[in-house]
Structure 1
């Protein structure tokens, strides 16, 4: 049966309710498997600071507002927001303002995000008794901003009009709002039979994913164009690719294709799941080319492109002993599980999910040297301001 319009809406809403990085603080949690993203983000700080240097400074009487979209639940988002606000404090001071404005930071992600873990990681404000922001700024080990969580999809409006000075979003925009409906339609040429990801799929499947990504990005830009203050800026980082061929997803293909794909095939061959069950699962991720991204920004017309480039991010695997094949295999399985485990659990249940990721670990361990040499992420980095 082909998906109807109503089924697509339900599918999108269902994904929004359950999609999140794996919460908690366990071995496969996102909090314990985001070291590589933290390293990648820190390597791009100079690009972020260039964006911040272009933000217009308002009167210190007007609060300065930062929003992190797709914040997840690790320490990286807190570190980056701290960098943004401290950089802006220096800019206010260099411009001759005696006192900086008050700062607010909104941490936004889907309602299923583990906000509890995130908020427990937040440093306290300097004073528990209504102290001034100046006291907060002067206190070491305390955050110089007020914090709040904003649950919701960034493919819709999240904030009042003209309320945000700086938008930051890293490693999130490659997540689609839903798996393209044609990919799950057996009657469609885009039906991704035998696969759980776009990597290595046919041209029709790739085009369906590309169309979904560009439609989602257009919705993202329309929402941000209404929410950003005049003179504000937006810094975006998403998983990208260097190949012009969308069926070659680069690092994402090695993470969600190859050993992850083979592990699904293992479950089918062992009779643990039906082949149709595998075919009905697809990772809603698309690593765009720089042209994919540029086309949407230019067609929307709301934003001027200050910078748009492909940035070499490095490997997503962080291991202490590169020669230990077991550790490398476990690192890949945990990385994959940290970002896709919630979807896998919902599709096949906890027990089969354990079986799946144990096979991912085993297969990855057998190809440890190859993974360390070949697994490389590239990112699309964009700095945008209102046109």
Structure 2
């Protein structure tokens, strides 16, 4: 999907200020702490400012500031240890082409001063809701999610509850970014999506969700965890359709859409697609990277270890089906101020 980000970067306008060097700024919202984050930052760091003077196009290499933003619990220390050194003034290069800073906080609220950022990116994060809707944990509610942890394959009432929370969260996200974005700036977003033909409780992640829930039930059957622990655990993730996403943008009115499409993501890398153990281990690690912190916070590390051991077993048993299921649709969106 990097080509879509490259096209978005081409739309950035960095106006000159009375002969001063421009200072482009970018922020990655929900940056996490791995190597993928640096791929995004490095690509953004290639942004260049071209200015016409006497019919001559002058390309300027501006100093560039990149803000890594995530919740305060994010491991920023690990992320910054991965950063290469800055390019030195000798022109030899070989390092990063930007200055880095951390901005802890939730992207569901304000993070930056007004009109301070040229580019916002958020990749594989916006499908996370700000919180689990209260109705989902209310035993008296029709949206109560007893015996399940996902919205996938849940009741219609629960799907609607998640959809309303997603709408509210994205609307708030857009309002904040509209205030913080500089004129001429752009927003680039990638999040989990679903085809328009799927209702709010159906996604390509059904097999993953069923397998994860079965692993919870294994712990219950073995007497390792109380059933109430599973009932009170819900994953706050919602996969929207293109139409749902567009409606939120249109209602907000702050942005015009440059690009909005559903793209099939790449599968996790498995060295040997015919090796059941390798597939099971890859799937278990993949799900743990996504859900591990939530599970540990809910039941502790020891039980979390047991849960993902069972996830691996279920994945090994369904290896052939999983190979075809390990690609998920994602919404790719590029926005500019209206």
TM above 0.5, yes or no, is yes
Which residue is equivalent to 2:244?
292
Aligned-pair distance for 1:318?
A: 1.4
The answer to whether the Cα contact below 8 Å between 2:136 and 2:143 also exists between their aligned partners in 1 is: yes
Which residue is equivalent to 1:369?
320
The answer to whether the Cα contact below 8 Å between 1:240 and 1:290 also exists between their aligned partners in 2 is: yes
Which residue is equivalent to 1:30?
none
Count of residue pairs the alignment pairs up? 332
Q: Using a 3 Å threshold, how does the CA distance of structure 1 residues 193 and 122 change in structure 2: closer, same or farther?
A: same
Which residue is equivalent to 2:108?
155
Which residue is equivalent to 1:6?
none
Aligned-pair distance for 1:224?
A: 0.2
2:51 and 2:129 mapped to 1: Cα distance?
A: 37
2:301 to 319, 329, 350: 350
Of Structure 1 and Structure 2, which has the larger fraction of its residues in helix?
A: 1
1:121 to 77, 82, 99: 82
| Unaligned stretches of 5+ residues in structure 1 | 1-43
2:60 to 80, 91, 99: 99
Within 5 Å, give how 1:161-200 maps onto structure 2: 161-200=114-153
Tell me if 1:335 matches 2:295. Answer: no
Give the aligned CA root-mean-square deviation in angstroms. 1.6
The answer to whether the Cα contact below 8 Å between 2:33 and 2:78 also exists between their aligned partners in 1 is: yes
1:235 and 1:319 mapped to 2: Cα distance?
A: 29
Tell me if 1:244 matches 2:219. Answer: no
1:374 and 1:62 mapped to 2: Cα distance?
A: 46
The answer to whether the Cα contact below 8 Å between 1:160 and 1:227 also exists between their aligned partners in 2 is: yes
Q: Deviation string for 1:38-60 (max 9, x for gaps)?
A: xxxxxx12211221121113226
1:99 and 1:54 mapped to 2: Cα distance?
A: 16
1:274 to 226, 242, 245: 226
User: How does the TM-score come out when normalised to structure 1?
Assistant: 0.83
Which residue is equivalent to 2:29?
69
The answer to whether the Cα contact below 8 Å between 2:49 and 2:59 also exists between their aligned partners in 1 is: no
Tell me if 1:211 matches 2:164. Answer: yes
Q: Using a 3 Å threshold, how does the CA distance of structure 1 residues 47 and 91 change in structure 2: closer, same or farther?
A: farther
1:52 and 1:99 mapped to 2: Cα distance?
A: 15
2:93 and 2:13 mapped to 1: Cα distance?
A: 27
User: How does the TM-score come out when normalised to structure 2?
Assistant: 0.94
1:172 and 1:92 mapped to 2: Cα distance?
A: 34
Aligned-pair distance for 1:93?
A: 10
Q: Using a 3 Å threshold, how does the CA distance of structure 1 residues 124 and 294 change in structure 2: closer, same or farther?
A: same
The answer to whether the Cα contact below 8 Å between 2:48 and 2:59 also exists between their aligned partners in 1 is: no
Q: Using a 3 Å threshold, how does the CA distance of structure 1 residues 106 and 215 change in structure 2: closer, same or farther?
A: same
Tell me if 1:310 matches 2:269. Answer: no
Tell me if 1:85 matches 2:45. Answer: yes
